[in-house]
């Protein structure tokens, strides 16, 4: 081992959940020779929160904790202390002018009888058909759910979320992300009128009492302050000299580099990169969003936490009653804070100038607000990340199999929601754990378990 290998200088690009998870773990393990370079003047990345002048607090889209990692859960518990709320995952779908409990496919009994029949017949036919290997998410939906469920929910809803046609998406990412269905539970729901709701005593999540989701990452960053350099936008990475250069001209040498900025951006910033690696980034597909918050001076009058909207005439695919998450999300008690998520892409352009008004109109047409509530709106908020969903496109894994092994051969690990570009491990818990596991890997050679290698990986030895 060289001396630098015994104490590797680590540069971490980005202070979102992945970068902070990595920094937290290095620090916890007593390693001090690292820096975190963050372009923004705040930490948390997409999992940050903002409080506006009116005193309302917003996340960048509803952030629910789904973690099954003991390490992450313990960390979050420590960061929140006793200051959290515990909520049911009370999720609904709005369609055909009514609310039905989520997941849609287990709760179709409340829909128009014609829709119910179409959904059941489609499911029966799909399950009776010969199973073929689907070529795309579009084919997977049809084979798994049949025509009715696909037409009424899966297809329109997924287009609204991904802003990408299902024909251009793969299906390998699905795993636990899409709830599949068996015909018996559908028939039970319809014939015996039993709601198959998905929330209950074992289906709860915690949320910070004050400051929104971003509080977690502010707290995580607090003991790491001396390692984190804000407003240090990375401009270039020289993989030969092993140096990162930031916008102010500073140079940051490294032995190991953890990148958490988007993978295509990372490749773009490399001073030397083989042509096939650069070309492979063209196969990475993403969507952006408009996140719209609306504060209203009246109580919510519901215990609903979030609602999905598959129908194309409503601009948002999901809304969250953020004011139900904690009483401190609004300026005063008995106010409501609604947060709407709208996706956008070249396949689904959205007018940024009218989106706030369009969302308010959508709240009224879906009955979330009454027309007279317009007078009670005390604040609105718009946040429009250009990159919010890494799309699992049909050629994604082929691209990753070209890009990631080469980066790894240069002592660069690219992890996190857009760093790894794997939506299926793109939540906060996955992202933070990718950072933690990276730290364990570079220090002690422990294999990463959350990040999934695509193609030939180069598992290195630990360097401590
Ligand atoms: C609409 C929406 C809803 C979501 N809902 C949930 C949910 O319900 N539950 C859940 O667990 N997760 C949810 N997520 C995902 C969650 O936000 C991510 O898991 C998490 O933020 C990913 O962390 P990250 O560190 O990998 O990336 P990011 O949060 O994107 O952080 C990357 C960081 O890198 C920095 N950076 C970029 N370029 C540079 C540069 N050139 N130089 C220096 N720094 C740079 C960025 O400023 C940023 O701070 C949601 C995300 C979105 C967009």
Q: Does residue 230 share a domain with residue 305?
A: no
457 pLDDT higher than 50: no
Q: Does residue 403 share a domain with residue 371?
A: no
Q: In angstroms, how far apart are the furthest CA atoms of the chain? A: 72
| CATH code of the domain covering residue 239 | 3.50.50.60
> Is residue 361 in some structural domain?
yes
Q: Does residue 412 share a domain with residue 266?
A: yes
Q: What is the pLDDT of residues 58-70, one digit of tens each?
A: 999 999 998 989 9
Cα 226 from Cα 268, distance rounded (Å):
29
| Nearest atom in ligand 1 to 61's CA | 1
DSSP single-letter state for residue 366? T
Residue 46 C-alpha to ligand 1 middle, in angstroms?
A: 3
Q: What is the pLDDT of residues 326-343, one digit of tens each?
A: 999 999 999 999 999 999
Q: Does residue 278 share a domain with residue 290?
A: no
Three-class DSSP category at 401: helix
Position 364 scores a pLDDT of: 98
Q: Which two tokens stand for residue 348?
A: 């689904």
H/E run at residue 49: strand 49-51
What is the band of 463 on the pLDDT scale with cuts at 50, 70, 90? very low
Q: What is the pLDDT of residues 12-43, one digit of tens each?
A: 999 999 999 999 999 999 999 999 999 999 99
Q: Which two tokens stand for residue 303?
A: 């215990």
Domain boundary pick from 389, 408, 432: 389
Residue 138 C-alpha to ligand 1 middle, in angstroms?
A: 27
User: Which residue carries 């294999």 as its tokens?
Assistant: 447
Q: Does residue 257 share a domain with residue 324?
A: no
Q: In the predicted model, what is the mean pLDDT of the chain?
A: 93
Position 198 scores a pLDDT of: 66
| 107 neighbors 197 (Cβ within 8 angstroms) | yes
Position 2 scores a pLDDT of: 37
Q: How many CB atoms lie within 10 A of CB 253?
A: 12
119 pLDDT higher than 80: yes
Q: Does residue 379 share a domain with residue 291?
A: yes
What is the band of 176 on the pLDDT scale with cuts at 50, 70, 90? low
Report pTM: 0.95
| Nearest atom in ligand 1 to 43's CA | 49
Residue 44 C-alpha to ligand 1 middle, in angstroms?
A: 7
| 310 neighbors 98 (Cβ within 8 angstroms) | no
5 pLDDT higher than 80: no
Closest CA to 403 of 270, 234, 288: 270
Q: What is the pLDDT of residues 339-394, one digit of tens each?
A: 999 999 999 999 999 999 999 999 999 999 999 999 999 999 999 999 999 999 99
Q: For atom 8 of ligand 1, which residue has the closest CA? A: 63
Residue 386 C-alpha to ligand 1 middle, in angstroms?
A: 12
| CATH code of the domain covering residue 300 | 3.90.660.20
Please tell me whether the peptide bond between 103 and the residue prior to it is cis, using omega within 30 degrees of 0.
Answer: yes
Q: For atom 35 of ligand 1, which residue has the closest CA? A: 14
Domain boundary pick from 155, 190, 225: 190
105 pLDDT higher than 90: no
Q: Does residue 243 share a domain with residue 155?
A: no
| 62 neighbors 339 (Cβ within 8 angstroms) | yes
Q: Does residue 346 share a domain with residue 276?
A: no
Output 67 or 202, whichever has higher pLDDT.
67
Closest CA to 59 of 312, 428, 449, 315: 428
291 pLDDT higher than 70: yes
Three-class DSSP category at 431: helix
> Is residue 41 in some structural domain?
yes
Beta strands per DSSP E along 55-144: 57-59, 84-88, 91-95, 98-101
Q: Who contacts 390 (Cβ-Cβ below 8 Å, separation ≥6)?
A: 262, 284, 286, 417, 418, 421, 422, 423, 426
Q: 158 exposed, middle or buried (CB, 10 Å; 0-12, 13-18, 19+)? A: buried
> Is residue 100 in some structural domain?
no
Residue 388 C-alpha to ligand 1 middle, in angstroms?
A: 8
Q: Does residue 121 share a domain with residue 39?
A: no
> Is residue 81 in some structural domain?
no
> Is residue 54 in some structural domain?
no
Ligand 1 pocket by C-beta < 6 Å: which residues? Answer: 13-19, 37-40, 45-47, 60-64, 66, 233-234, 260-261, 289, 341, 388, 416-419, 426-429, 431
> Is residue 90 in some structural domain?
no
Q: For atom 34 of ligand 1, which residue has the closest CA? A: 14
Domain tally, the chain? 3
Domain boundary pick from 122, 157, 190: 190
Q: Kindly tell me the sign of the dihedral angle through the C-alpha atoms of 352, 353, 354, 356.
A: positive
What is the band of 201 on the pLDDT scale with cuts at 50, 70, 90? low
Position 263 scores a pLDDT of: 98
| Nearest atom in ligand 1 to 389's CA | 53
Closest CA to 336 of 325, 321, 357: 321
Q: Does residue 401 share a domain with residue 277?
A: yes
Position 434 scores a pLDDT of: 98
Query: Mutate which of 15, 16, 36, 41 to test ligand 1's pocket (most atoms within 8 Å of Cβ)?
Result: 16
Position 193 scores a pLDDT of: 81
106 pLDDT higher than 90: no
Output 71 or 180, whichever has higher pLDDT.
71
Q: Does residue 292 share a domain with residue 385?
A: yes
Residue 45 C-alpha to ligand 1 middle, in angstroms?
A: 4
> Is residue 199 in some structural domain?
no
Q: Does residue 345 share a domain with residue 217?
A: no
Percent of the chain with pLDDT over 70: 94
**Which domain, by its residues, includes 380?**
285-389
Position 390 scores a pLDDT of: 98
Residue 91 C-alpha to ligand 1 middle, in angstroms?
A: 23
Residue 452 C-alpha to ligand 1 middle, in angstroms?
A: 19
What is the band of 4 on the pLDDT scale with cuts at 50, 70, 90? very low
């Amino acid at each position: 081992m060289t001396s630098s290998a015994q104490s590797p200088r680590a540069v971490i690009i980005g202070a979102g959940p992945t970068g902070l998870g990595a920094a937290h773990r290095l620090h916890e393990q007593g390693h001090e020779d690292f820096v975190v370079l963050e372009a923004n003047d705040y930490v948390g990345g997409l999992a940050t929160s903002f409080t506006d002048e009116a005193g309302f607090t917003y996340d960048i889209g509803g952030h629910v904790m789904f973690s099954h990692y003991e390490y992450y859960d313990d960390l979050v518990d420590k960061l929140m202390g006793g200051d959290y709320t515990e909520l049911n995952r009370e999720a609904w779908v709005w369609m055909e002018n009514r609310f039905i409990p989520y997941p849609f496919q287990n709760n179709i009994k409340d829909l128009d009888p014609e829709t119910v029949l179409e959904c059941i017949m489609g499911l029966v036919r799909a399950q009776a058909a010969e199973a073929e290997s689907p070529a795309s998410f579009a084919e997977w939906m049809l084979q798994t759910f049949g025509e009715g469920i696909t037409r009424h929910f899966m297809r329109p809803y997924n287009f609204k979320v991904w802003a990408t046609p299902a024909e251009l998406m793969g299906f390998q990412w699905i795993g636990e992300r899409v709830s599949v269905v068996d015909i018996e539970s559908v028939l039970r729901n319809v014939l015996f009128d039993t709601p198959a709701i998905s929330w209950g005593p074992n289906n709860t999540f915690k949320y910070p009492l004050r400051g929104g989701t971003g509080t977690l990452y502010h707290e995580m960053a607090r003991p790491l302050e001396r390692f984190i350099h804000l407003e240090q936008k990375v401009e270039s990475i020289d993989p030969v000299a092993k140096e990162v250069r930031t916008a102010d001209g500073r140079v940051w040498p490294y032995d190991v580099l953890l990148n958490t900025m988007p993978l295509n951006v990372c490749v773009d910033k490399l001073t030397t990169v083989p042509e096939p690696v650069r070309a492979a980034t063209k196969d990475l597909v993403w969507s952006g969003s408009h996140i719209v918050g609306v504060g209203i001076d009246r109580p919510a009058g519901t215990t609903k936490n979030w609602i999905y909207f598959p129908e194309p005439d409503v601009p948002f695919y999901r809304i969250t009653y953020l004011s139900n998450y904690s009483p401190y999300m609004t300026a005063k008690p008995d106010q409501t804070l609604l947060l709407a998520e709208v996706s956008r892409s070249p396949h689904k352009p959205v007018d940024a100038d009218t989106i706030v008004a369009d969302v308010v109109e959508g709240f009224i047409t879906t009955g979330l607000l009454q027309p007279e509530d317009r007078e009670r709106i005390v604040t609105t908020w718009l946040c429009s990340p250009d990159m919010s969903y890494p799309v699992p496109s049909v050629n994604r894994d082929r691209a990753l199999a070209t890009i990631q092994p080469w980066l790894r051969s240069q002592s660069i690990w690219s992890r996190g929601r857009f760093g790894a570009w794997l939506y299926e491990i793109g939540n906060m818990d996955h992202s933070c754990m990718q950072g933690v596991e990276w730290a364990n890997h570079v220090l002690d050679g422990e294999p990463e378990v959350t990040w999934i290698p695509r193609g030939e990986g180069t598992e290195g030895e630990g360097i401590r």
